[in-house]
Structure 1
């Protein structure tokens, strides 16, 4: 036999695996057939020989048929939705299609899922007729954030006589993204009166006089009422006034991820509260027209503005933000200075909302200097003593932040972000923050009123 005609090693291994899949019934038929054929040869009984050959050949034929047709069953998975919040449910639909001309035997279907999503779902399916299909579904949920792979799908095929079983694993898999829980926040104005799309913001062109208008050339479709005749006479072609460009309000959400600043783990831990709070605040401000960037204590920018006009579409920005927070973990840093450097290098205006872990006096002093000039700063600071069951203690961190003009609130166990958010917009809290900042020799900016 030439080298080109030699059986491929993969084919031999596949046949060996198929014969290894003989069930107890198949092995019993094979053993009985061999024994009957041996006795028939010794005794010279042709009828017994025929029976022995039938018993021995039947399981072998089942193996060959199952091996030859095992690729004719296709499987698919549909995940709805692909992104859920913590403790939310997603439905996984599995579909099997028999694309061969022969019916299948009994099928056992199993899908691989991570331990955090629950036990592996298993289904037993009756025979599928040629060209037929079967659909089953199950639900998954997780209290923890993360990205969880689903699959690959595993299938055990058996012949109609139950002589052989083969295991098949499909290669396709899906990913379930579990994002932080998002709370609906009350519509407070925390940015000194700026709503987001320029309300309360400076409009340079609106404040400019007739002689200060910077014109541009006329374009097809421009309103003729916007023609700037003085510039037209000067340039010798039609010139029009530029449209007023409203400025979008900016906000930075700072999330402290230092491992040393949080104790405990799990869905009810203070770190998960901070991650959920950052997601809630960022999405709330995105809905109100703010340009939001998400910053961590390491100085890394998880999400920021993008798109052709410099701003991300709110729905896309929200999706990117939630995906980034879904896989966020503790950092190994112990200092907030990288975040301070990132804020100092960026814009010095706008709204700053910080979710901070436990602060000592040194880290509180670093955080106090982060307050933007001419902007508003709100801090939700973890009360580590209350979370550890040692009683509530405001600590020096809140005092230093308030002296620097921050609106700083302590976060204890069982406190919801909507309640703290409403408290942060209360006039009494804002006035106290401004007065404390002025008493400390710093400029305090009062927060805006209710929307």
Structure 2
């Protein structure tokens, strides 16, 4: 008689899915609880917990009631401090900066408003406001339902940069500092600390006549942008006499033109750390670039600012200063001022004026090599930032080289060279 074997049906993946999902959710909950516990317990508290456990064990093994009493006291303290974390911290937080853009040295003033929008009171707590690498701490009193409190603060700015202000953290803890529960509120706000700049007047940026340029308010006897007719003056070129108007009016009339000028102003700013002997030179170079860019924008010129590897946004004065505020040293291998000049020549071959800004570590030979890479016919100016140096001017080929040692020297030095 043949025997038959009956096998149990195999379990499919669908049969295991519910149990697997439960296990995964449980594991996620355990991990989340462990992370939350680790955030709540301060490092000194872990030490105290270890000491308490050691006292319990030593007291039981050695039979010393003194150790057991000490363990009981420490256990009570830990429990009481942990219970003080219970409670709501659901503030409605408003962070308002009076100005989110300041100049180095100015104070940024703001206000922090906390409101209890719930129906129950919120116990006293602390509020931490991170500002860059530092932070401000505010003690918030007990707030009843619908009550609010406003805290004013001032942020000193001693260095250029972009400082993240926030996010605001509400801290609930105990008087001994054993446990601390932190709840983040609101979103961070960027505070732009712009570099210092100077203003200078006059037509200091220079132009070049160009057929594709923009017409200006300056009149000329010869150009391509016709402006009006005027009476003939001795010395006028007879080629520009308008004979039809002369015949109609009985007086000799000549054409007058508006000068067309190329208005593409380019700044090449070296950000290579090796080009600057001290950090203050780099800050001075950034201030020079910002001052030149703002002047060109006020003159309604097209402005490009090139640094090694990229072009900074410079469509408006605010965007230009924001870009300079966030600028740091370049680590690119092709970040030398010579390579920067070559990149400018390739990107803007029809620029009217190119200003190269660098530090005192760039010698005359390197500047000569950099200027030689710029397009022929472009007016070239090099500005060397040398901390503490007296202003000086010289020429390298067709380029003017200005050395400045302080921001106050920039305006008179550039006015002489570019006028």
The TM-score with structure 1 as length reference comes to 0.60
Q: 2:187 is matched with which residue?
A: 172
Q: 1:35 is matched with which residue?
A: none
Q: 1:260 is matched with which residue?
A: 274
| Distance across 1 between alignment mates of 2:391 and 2:191 | 40
Q: Secondary structure at the match of 1:128?
A: coil
| Distance across 1 between alignment mates of 2:322 and 2:194 | 7
Q: Is the 8 A contact 2:342 2:370 kept in 1?
A: no
Q: 2:126 is matched with which residue?
A: 108
Report Cα offsets for 1:202-231 as digits up to 9, x if no partner: 974638xxxxxxxxxxxxxxxxxxxxxxxx
1:15–1:100 CA distance, 2 compared to 1 (3 A) = farther
Q: 2:295 is matched with which residue?
A: 284
1:125–1:422 CA distance, 2 compared to 1 (3 A) = same
1:324-335 equivalences in 2 (<5 Å) = 324-332=323-331, 333=334, 335=336
| Distance across 1 between alignment mates of 2:40 and 2:372 | 73
- 1:248: how far off? 6.3
Q: 2:47 is matched with which residue?
A: none
1:5-404 equivalences in 2 (<5 Å) = 9=30, 66=87, 69-70=88-89, 72-115=90-133, 120-157=135-172, 166-170=181-185, 172-192=187-207, 198-199=215-216, 204=224, 206=226, 249-265=263-279, 269-296=280-307, 298=308, 300-303=310-313, 312=315, 317-332=316-331, 333=334, 335-345=336-346, 346-358=348-360, 359-370=362-373, 372-383=375-386, 387=389, 402-404=395-397
Q: Is the 8 A contact 1:336 1:366 kept in 2?
A: no
Structure with more strand by fraction: 2
Report Cα offsets for 1:232-281 as digits up to 9, x if no partner: xxxxxxxxxxxx9977611111212222221112xxx1111010110011
1:431-446 equivalences in 2 (<5 Å) = none
| Distance across 1 between alignment mates of 2:417 and 2:391 | 19
- 1:415: how far off? 4.8
Q: Is the 8 A contact 1:109 1:156 kept in 2?
A: yes
The runs of 5 or more residues in structure 2 that have no matched partner are 1-18, 43-75, 228-257
Q: Secondary structure at the match of 2:135?
A: coil
The TM-score with structure 2 as length reference comes to 0.64
Q: Is the 8 A contact 1:249 1:350 kept in 2?
A: yes
| Distance across 2 between alignment mates of 1:246 and 1:61 | 77
User: How many positions carry a matched residue from both structures?
Assistant: 324
User: What's the Cα RMSD here?
Assistant: 4.3
Q: Is the 8 A contact 1:253 1:295 kept in 2?
A: yes
Q: Is the 8 A contact 1:191 1:375 kept in 2?
A: no
Q: Is the 8 A contact 1:87 1:142 kept in 2?
A: yes
Q: Is the 8 A contact 1:299 1:338 kept in 2?
A: no
Q: Is the 8 A contact 1:350 1:372 kept in 2?
A: no
Q: Is the 8 A contact 2:104 2:160 kept in 1?
A: yes
Q: Secondary structure at the match of 1:139?
A: strand
Q: 2:14 is matched with which residue?
A: none
| Distance across 2 between alignment mates of 1:356 and 1:371 | 16
Q: Is the 8 A contact 1:84 1:177 kept in 2?
A: yes
